[in-house]
Amino acid sequence: MNEKKRIIFHLDMDHFYTAIEERERPDLKGKPVIVGADPKEGKGRGVVHTCNYEARKLGIRSAMPISRAWNLCPLAVYLPPNFDLYMEVSSRIMEILRKYGDKFEQWGIDEAFIDVSGKAKDYLEAEAIACQIKKEIFEKEKLTCSIGIGPNKLVAKIASDHQKPDGLTVIRENEADDFLAPLGVRKLLWVGRKTEQKLASMGIKTIGDLAHFDPAVLTEKFGVMGTQLYLMAHGIDKSEVAERGQVKSISRDVTFEEDVSNPEVVFNALDKLSEDVTADAQRQKLYFKTVTIKIRYENFETHTHGKTLPFITNRFQDLKKATRELAQGYMKQDRKIRLVSVRVSNFTSGQMQRTLL
Ligand code: TTP
Ligand code: MG
């Protein structure tokens, strides 16, 4: 079998939200900057969305409670998010990137894959294209990014994260095994905390450990996913770079000022989140099919629960009904709720919607 070799890029913007804030306000340069919930002098209850590299040196990270960030660095600059601005910048960057690839796939607000197999005959040419992309993004947006180049999406994605910020990492097919071996299994797409723990209990910590493990045992323990894990550990990924909806999901969350036991308060909060999410979906002309809620109790125990609707929609009433139904089982008399979120995914664009009807 003579499969054509592919060359894939993964691009990820550096500390995206804070980089945009720094660009808008040059006085922030050099200071630790955090975009997230209001810290309220350490009493704030939301989370850090992201922070710049100066703040990361102090131990601050995305998704950390904002109160913890305040304890680590009360003198950092704390800014509320400006999502509209971030979305605008994101779509301009995606437009730049799209023209460099034969195929383009947006993966998140600040990241995307492109397949350049038809444009670059070898890795040297690919590297030159990557430099060109970095230059164009910097000239037009005054922002830096990191690019990973590899024989498939999996390797490219791990490579883009390898030398952040402003990195460019090229991993050829025959280098993939050595590159991956020392890295932790969490670097692999789809390996979350639970899989990581299960693998650790089997003595598997690094991707190299996984690559040397008996694939039959992996399949026995993890089913189809076991085979997938084994292939990934060897840097094998045949998935195509495939255009789809601009965004994969839209979500909103709220951390209550005080933990809540009254179900009506929780339902009202869910309604408000559903309203914001549908407004966002309508603005982007996206229709969704899957709805997921997250409920975090006061002790941080967190549950995610979702369902796929039998129809596509972006109507507030549909989302409101779905989220209320999903949340029903989590309202318990003796359990106070700290945070709720609403997420929609499985999108169809407006254009496809029209052809479907
Ligand atoms: P990331 O690319 O994961 O992070 P980043 O761009 O801030 O930093 P890095 O240089 O490591 O790539 O996420 C992109 C944006 O998504 C980020 O700027 C803010 C947002 N985000 C959240 O709101 N919450 C999160 O937990 C994470 C990880 C990101
Ligand atoms: Mg990023």
Report mean pLDDT in 10-residue bins for the chain, 357 residues. 81 98 96 97 93 98 95 97 90 94 89 95 97 98 98 97 98 96 92 91 97 96 91 93 74 93 96 94 86 95 92 91 96 93 82 34
Query: Ligand 2: distance of its center to the CA of 311 in Å?
Result: 33
Write down the pLDDT at residue 189.
80
As a whole number of angstroms, the distance between CA 95 and CA 9 comes to 15
Active site residues: 111
Type of residue numbered 335:
R
Type of residue numbered 346:
N
- Give the environment of ion ligand 2: residues with CB less than 5 A: 12-13, 16, 110
Q: How far is CA 138 from CA 85, 166, 257, in A?
A: 17, 10, 40
Ligand lying closest to the C-alpha of residue 17: 1
Nearest protein Cα to ligand 1, atom 11: 15
As a whole number of angstroms, the distance between CA 128 and CA 280 comes to 37
Query: Ligand 1: distance of its center to the CA of 63 in Å?
Result: 9
Please check whether residue 337 is in contact with residue 266, taking contact to mean a CB–CB distance below 8 angstroms.
yes
Mutate to test the pocket of ligand 1, among 20, 62, 161, 253 (most ligand atoms within 8 A of CB): 62
Q: Cα-flanking dihedrals φ and ψ of residue 15, to 5°? A: 25, 65
Q: E strands within the chain? A: 8-13, 33-36, 48-51, 77-79, 103-108, 111-115, 145-150, 168-170, 249-260, 286-297, 302-313, 337-345, 348-349
Mutate to test the pocket of ligand 1, among 10, 16, 113, 134 (most ligand atoms within 8 A of CB): 16
Query: Ligand 1: distance of its center to the CA of 76 in Å?
Result: 18
CA-nearest of 141, 109, 91, 98 to 9 is 98
Cβ partners under 8 Å of residue 45, min gap 6:
37, 65, 66, 67, 255, 256, 257, 338
Nearest protein Cα to ligand 1, atom 4: 15
Give the whole-number percent of the chain exceeding pLDDT 90.
Answer: 80
As a whole number of angstroms, the distance between CA 32 and CA 246 comes to 31
What tens digit of pLDDT does each residue of 243-284 get? Answer: 765 567 899 999 999 999 999 999 999 999 999 999 988 877
Cβ partners under 8 Å of residue 174, min gap 6:
none
The half-sphere exposure of 95 on its side-chain side, counting CA atoms within 13 A, is 8
Q: Could you tell me the end-to-end alpha-carbon distance of the chain, in angstroms, rounded to an integer?
A: 41
Write down the pLDDT at residue 349.
57
Type of residue numbered 99:
K
Write down the pLDDT at residue 242.
84
CA-nearest of 187, 236, 193, 227 to 207 is 187
Nearest protein Cα to ligand 1, atom 7: 15
CB-defined site of ligand 1, < 6 Å: 12-17, 49-50, 62-63, 109-111, 164-165
Query: Ligand 2: distance of its center to the CA of 166 in Å?
Result: 11
Write down the pLDDT at residue 3.
62
Q: Which residues of 73-97 are buried (b: 16+ CB within 10 A; e: fewer)?
A: beebbbbeeeeeebbebbeebbeeb
Write down the pLDDT at residue 352.
38
Please check whether residue 6 is in contact with residue 238, taking contact to mean a CB–CB distance below 8 angstroms.
no
Query: Ligand 1: distance of its center to the CA of 33 in Å?
Result: 13
Write down the pLDDT at residue 258.
93
Atom of ligand 1 nearest to the CA of 165: 10
